[in-house]
Amino acid sequence: MSSGWTNKKKHSIFNVLVNSPKRTMFLYSLDTSDISKTTDKIFKMLDDVVKFVEEENVLHVFTNNVANFKVTRELLMKKIGYLY
């Protein structure tokens, strides 16, 4: 699961959490203030998370509903055919 938000200092933050039947684990938080939020860059960040967690352990990818994240979800679903 990923989410983006802006802190009080106007820094853009990208959070990644991993959910399993046993627990939810905070994986990392990344300051993305200096990164343009293009579909390619978001895809790279989320694809790296999938590789880290290992693809066979990933069933769902949740993101916010902004257009570039929607496209990223579609790209991940094409790459990993069984994702929802």
**What is the per-residue pLDDT across 64-77, written as a single tens digit (0 to 9) for each?**
777 888 888 889 88
Query: Is residue 75 assigned to a domain?
Result: yes
Tokens of 16: 């990644």
Return the pLDDT at 1: 56
Query: Is residue 12 assigned to a domain?
Result: yes
Q: What is the pTM of this model?
A: 0.75
Return the pLDDT at 7: 76
Return the pLDDT at 5: 62
pLDDT-flagged residues of the chain (< 50): none
Matching residue, tokens 């200092």: 9
Matching residue, tokens 């967690």: 53
Kindly report the backbone phi and psi dihedral angles of residue 3, in degrees, each rounded to the nearest multiple of 5, phi listed first: -150, 155
Query: Is residue 60 assigned to a domain?
Result: yes
Query: Is residue 32 assigned to a domain?
Result: yes
Query: Is residue 84 assigned to a domain?
Result: no
Number of separate domains in the chain:
1
Query: Is residue 72 assigned to a domain?
Result: yes
Query: Is residue 68 assigned to a domain?
Result: yes
Query: Is residue 26 assigned to a domain?
Result: yes
